[in-house]
Chains A and B, each alone.
Chain A
Amino acid sequence: MTRRRIVDRLMTFMLWGAAALLVFLLLAIILYIFINGYEALSWSFLTEPPRDNMTRGGISTPLMGTLQLVVVSMLFSLPVGIATGLYLAEYSRKGQFTALLRLAIRSLAGVPSVVFGLFGLSLFVILLKFGSSLLSAGLTLGCLALPLIVTASEQAFLAVPQDYRAASYALGASKWQTIWKVVFPAASSTIITGGILSIGRVAGETAPIIFTGAAYFTPGVAKSVFDEVMALPYHIMVLATEGTNITLTRPIQYGTVLVLLAFVLGISAIGVIMRARLKQSGR
């Protein structure tokens, strides 16, 4: 075997190693958390609020809080994000506004999550006087999710075949009728997939909500959008770093981590699989 062949074999081996490492890493993380966390899991863990300075009880309040945050953030980011995607795909012409919009969306996607937190604090909490609340934290998360939804929906609209539009125009439909009755329905399942994936992203975020609405502890689930909420990721941070008894609550911490991991990876897996199916059927 020449030296060239040996190098080739060696590098191929290392490339296989890198791929194996990737699979191993994800499986190892999931398994480690599952093994350490599943003992804490029970129906009452999911349905009871934390008790006794959070050393006992369950995680119902942070779990509900995370769901509420997801709902508020999506109520903002889905309409705005889909409209922006629609504009970029169907209306935009090459011009300054479009270039500016693309630059803004690209920049937003790179803003560090803690900077979104500072922005949410100044705009929603202080300037608009929403206070530290479900509304402030949800809107901050919504801004963070916006670029994801814009990109996903723009691609969804662009993937609709041009023939559909031509057929609709040929029947005498206006541009808006064509978009609303033809393009939108054809793109809807891909857009829903994008929405699901951004829920997976939003549910695990911690930094943007620390000073916009996440509470160390609340006695119950938020009843209005102006109440503070507990959230799973923040609850993990509190239990692991500043709880009253960090070692005593370790089982609860693992349990909470497992629930968050299952929720986020479950949602994202649904999104990833749905998108793969859609791509296949599209071809």
Chain B
Amino acid sequence: MKKEQAPGIIIMSISSMGIFIILFILFFLIKEGLPVLKEASLLSIVTGSDWYPTETPPALGMLSLIVGSVAVTILSSLLALPISLFIAIFISEIASEKMRNILKPILELLGFLPSIILGFLGMVLIAPWLQANFTILSGLNLLNASILLGFLIIPIVGSLAEEALSAVPLELRNASYALGATRWETISKVVFPAALPGILSACLLGIMRGMGETMVVLMAAGGAAIIPVSLFDPVRPLTSTIAAEMGETPVGSPHYHALFFAGLILLIITLAINLLSSWIESKRRVRPS
């Protein structure tokens, strides 16, 4: 009997590794991030907009970094979410079986595009184009990074929303058509509302992806720690600040702890979006099909 149970116990203990990793991530960010509160108060960190972490005494105001993160996330979502949903609706409601078999892999492949390559395109392609067409000093700015982040959001939201739409039972569509509704009326008034929880959850995961992305904003956002007032202002989101500065920071310095604290802020926001998305998704199961 004991020998029977051994493999199950081993498998269970190996799988607990996932729990340990997420706990370790939380633990290290808290352990290395919280000491920054000895240098500066929480209020001065989240409301101060001066980020000069290497000066003595260091200025550790992260407001411009947080606003930078939020700004690229909102702008890229505004650009990418409508397109993503249109693509999802097309694949689920209009495309033939054959087209679906081509479009779905294309959508998925777009999702595998390394973000460093998008960042590179931002530098060599979009930045010169923006500079040539608008009278601005640098093409590396909020708009550039948001366009590129859109490329990363489209495949995630597109494929998850498509799944949600395809899961809507055919009878609902047929009933709508039988009442004389056009295809767009059926989509917008019947299918879309029925799939709404899944679609919302997909959008949230896309927003989460935009918020956590590093390389694109590091290369294309311009990197100035200021609060942006126009689309063409450079920004320095939390992610790119960590990536750019961690390499040259002495372990244990206030700057080091501040960067971990930035990581902690980032983790808490993305985790919250993730859990919200998961909660909305669980509501979907209630709907009888």
List chain A positions with a Cβ less than 8 A from chain B: 4-5, 7-8, 11-12, 14-19, 21-23, 25-26, 29, 32-33, 79-80, 83-84, 86-88, 91, 97, 100-101, 104-119, 121-123, 126, 143, 146-147, 150, 174-176, 179, 197, 200-201, 203-207, 210-211, 233, 236-237, 240-241, 250, 253, 257, 260-261, 264-265, 268-269, 272-273, 276
- Top 3 closest pairs, chain A to chain B, by CB: A204-B114, A112-B212, A18-B86
B158 closest partner in A (C-beta)? A22
B130 at the interface (CB under 8 A from A): no
Q: If A7-B184, A233-B114 touch, does A115 touch B21 (CB 8 Å cutoff)?
A: no
Interface pair B247/A105, CB less than 8 Å apart:
no
Residues of chain A lying within 8 A (CB to CB) of residue B242? 114, 117-118
A77 closest partner in B (C-beta)? B17
Instruction: Give A204 to B109 CA distance when docked, in angstroms.
Output: 13
Interface pair B12/A206, CB less than 8 Å apart:
no
B183 closest partner in A (C-beta)? A8
Interface pair B185/A110, CB less than 8 Å apart:
no
Interchain residue pairs with CB less than 8 A apart (27) = A4-B185, A8-B185, A11-B184, A19-B95, A22-B107, A23-B106, A84-B15, A87-B14, A108-B18, A110-B205, A110-B271, A110-B273, A111-B271, A112-B267, A114-B243, A115-B29, A117-B243, A122-B28, A126-B251, A143-B21, A175-B8, A210-B246, A233-B116, A237-B215, A268-B109, A268-B112, A272-B105
Interface pair A114/B214, CB less than 8 Å apart:
yes
CB distance from B41 to the nearest CB of A (A): 23
CB distance from B141 to the nearest CB of A (A): 16
Residues of chain A lying within 8 A (CB to CB) of residue B93? 15
Instruction: Give A80 to B12 CA distance when docked, in angstroms.
Output: 10
Find B120's partner among A5, A121, A240 (CB 8 Å cutoff): A240
Interface pair B18/A261, CB less than 8 Å apart:
no
Instruction: Give A80 to B19 CA distance when docked, in angstroms.
Output: 12
Interface pair A25/B22, CB less than 8 Å apart:
no
Interface pair A19/B90, CB less than 8 Å apart:
yes
Interface pair B260/A12, CB less than 8 Å apart:
no
Find B247's partner among A14, A206, A210 (CB 8 Å cutoff): A210
Instruction: Give the interface centre of A11, A100, A126 by most chain B CB atoms within 10 Å.
Output: A11
B4 at the interface (CB under 8 A from A): yes
A207 closest partner in B (C-beta)? B214
Instruction: Give A105 to B32 CA distance when docked, in angstroms.
Output: 23
Interface pair A176/B110, CB less than 8 Å apart:
no
Find B22's partner among A18, A79, A87, A107 (CB 8 Å cutoff): A107
Interface pair A5/B182, CB less than 8 Å apart:
yes
A176 closest partner in B (C-beta)? B7
Residues of chain B lying within 8 A (CB to CB) of residue A126? 251
CB distance from A148 to the nearest CB of B (A): 11
Residues of chain B lying within 8 A (CB to CB) of residue A97? 12, 16
Q: If A19-B95, A118-B260, A268-B112 touch, does A204 touch B117 (CB 8 Å cutoff)?
A: yes
**Between A and B, how many residue pairs show CB distances below 8 Å?**
250
Find B15's partner among A12, A32, A87, A205 (CB 8 Å cutoff): A87
Instruction: Give the interface centre of A32, A112, A113 by most chain B CB atoms within 10 Å.
Output: A112
Instruction: Give A12 to B243 CA distance when docked, in angstroms.
Output: 43
Secondary structure at chain B's binding surface: helix, strand, loop or mixed? Answer: helix
List chain B positions with a Cβ less than 8 A from chain A: 4, 7-8, 11-12, 14-19, 21-25, 28-29, 31-32, 83, 86-87, 89-91, 93-95, 99, 101, 103, 105-110, 112-117, 119-121, 123-125, 151, 154, 158, 182-185, 187-188, 205, 208, 211-215, 218-219, 239, 242-243, 246-247, 251, 259-260, 263, 266-267, 270-271, 273-275, 278
Interface pair B113/A265, CB less than 8 Å apart:
yes
Instruction: Give A14 to B187 CA distance when docked, in angstroms.
Output: 13
Q: If A207-B243, A211-B247, A257-B120 touch, does A91 touch B83 (CB 8 Å cutoff)?
A: no
Residues of chain B lying within 8 A (CB to CB) of residue A101? 15-16, 18-19
Instruction: Give the interface centre of A15, A109, A116 by most chain B CB atoms within 10 Å.
Output: A15
Instruction: Give the interface centre of B11, B87, B208 by most chain A CB atoms within 10 Å.
Output: B11
Q: If A110-B208, A176-B4 touch, does A200 touch B22 (CB 8 Å cutoff)?
A: no
A269 closest partner in B (C-beta)? B109
Residues of chain A lying within 8 A (CB to CB) of residue B213? 112-113
Residues of chain A lying within 8 A (CB to CB) of residue B107? 22
CB distance from A41 to the nearest CB of B (A): 16
Interface pair A111/B105, CB less than 8 Å apart:
no
CB distance from B255 to the nearest CB of A (A): 14
Residues of chain B lying within 8 A (CB to CB) of residue A197? 112
Find A272's partner among B109, B208, B218 (CB 8 Å cutoff): B109
A22 closest partner in B (C-beta)? B87
